[in-house]
């Protein structure tokens, strides 16, 4: 029989040393590094992400609250004002809140154009045209030849049904280098409310020349020509528009008006021909009677 030999004391000591770690050794082990404090910049980024997350989830009030916190930290950052205004604008029941915000933004950034323009637009939609025009007047003192401010003035006047003043304002816009085709269109459309005129036809003719494939311009020019009793010219514009957009509802109205005008002309021509034939018959009859009387006198 094989007898197991006793383990050496050294081996046992090694085993015990692996199992039981001395307290001093455990205390000397390295600890995890402490998390550094969040910087103000990182806090702002975290808040921005949180505000956008709330906005995406439809939690508007929570998003607005975070943006208010951000504005308190950095009042000069326009994005915190802008995003709050963007959230409030589509909400009819937050009308007053939007007005308060825009006024506060303008007060916080008096040299910034955006809050002033947005406040003027707010007044335009609210029907407070005079308040909007007051803001525009203040902007024009700073930049009297700014086409965007002149355009805002024209639009405010147009919205307020101040047609004559709006036409004058659009004319001022068209005198600026930054005027667009849409500006010319708005000006011409306002002119059309005053009835036919050479200036109106010239305005629409210029639009057609600048963009011949725009159905709006073709139809409007055709209507102006028809108003000036130029049926042939109006028909040419209608046919050109028909090649571009045959189903356009404005074009259909123009075509109906042209058909009616041409039918009326045909009736008038028929009446004129009838009157002419009648006059000729009367002259012939009178001449026959005169000849008959002359023959009777010869006898």
How confident is the model over 139-176, as pLDDT tens digits? 999 999 999 999 999 999 999 999 999 999 999 999 99
Sequence-distant (6+) residues with CB within 8 A of 200 are 188, 191, 192, 194, 224
Q: Which residue has the higher pLDDT, 95 or 289?
A: 95
Calculate the average pLDDT of the chain: 84
Tell me the per-residue pLDDT of 38-92, one tens digit each, with 9 for 90 and over: 798 999 999 999 999 999 999 999 999 999 999 999 999 999 999 999 999 999 9
The pLDDT, as a whole number, for residue 38 is: 79
Residue extents of the structural domains in the chain: 180-299
Q: Tell me: domain 180-299, CATH 1.25.40.10, correct?
A: yes
Q: Which of 175, 173, 200, 176 is nearest to 188 (CA)?
A: 200
Q: Is the pLDDT of residue 269 over 70?
A: no
The pLDDT, as a whole number, for residue 274 is: 40
Q: What is the pTM of this model?
A: 0.73
Q: Answer yes or no: are the C-beta atoms of 147 and 178 closer than 8 Å.
A: yes
């Amino acid at each position: 029989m094989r007898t197991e030999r006793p383990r050496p004391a050294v081996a046992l000591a090694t085993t015990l040393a692996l199992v039981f770690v001395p307290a001093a050794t455990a205390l000397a082990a390295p600890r995890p590094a402490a998390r550094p404090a969040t910087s103000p910049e990182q806090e702002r980024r975290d808040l921005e992400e949180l505000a956008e997350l709330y906005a995406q989830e439809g939690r508007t009030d929570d998003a607005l609250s975070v943006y208010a916190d951000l504005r308190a930290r950095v009042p000069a950052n326009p994005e915190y004002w802008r995003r709050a205004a963007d959230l409030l604008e589509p909400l009819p029941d937050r009308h007053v809140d939007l007005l308060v915000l825009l006024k506060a933004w303008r007060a916080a950034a008096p040299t910034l154009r955006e809050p002033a323009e947005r406040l003027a637009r707010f007044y335009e939609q609210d029907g407070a045209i005079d308040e909007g025009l007051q803001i525009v007047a203040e902007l024009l003192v700073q930049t009297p030849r700014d086409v965007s401010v002149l355009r805002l003035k024209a639009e405010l006047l147009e919205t307020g049904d101040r047609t004559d003043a709006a036409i004058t304002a659009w004319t001022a816009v068209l005198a600026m280098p930054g005027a667009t085709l849409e500006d010319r269109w708005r000006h011409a459309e306002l002119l059309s409310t005053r009835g036919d005129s050479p200036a109106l036809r010239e305005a629409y003719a210029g639009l057609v020349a600048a963009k011949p494939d725009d159905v709006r311009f073709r139809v409007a020019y055709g209507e102006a020509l028809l108003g000036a009793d130029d049926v042939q010219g109006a028909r040419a514009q209608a046919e050109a528009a028909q090649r571009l957009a045959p189903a356009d509802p404005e074009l259909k109205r123009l075509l109906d008006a042209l058909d009616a005008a041409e039918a009326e002309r045909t009736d008038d021509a028929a009446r004129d021909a009838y009157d002419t034939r009648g006059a000729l018959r009367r002259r012939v009859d009178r001449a026959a009677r005169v000849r008959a009387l002359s023959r009777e006198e010869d006898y």
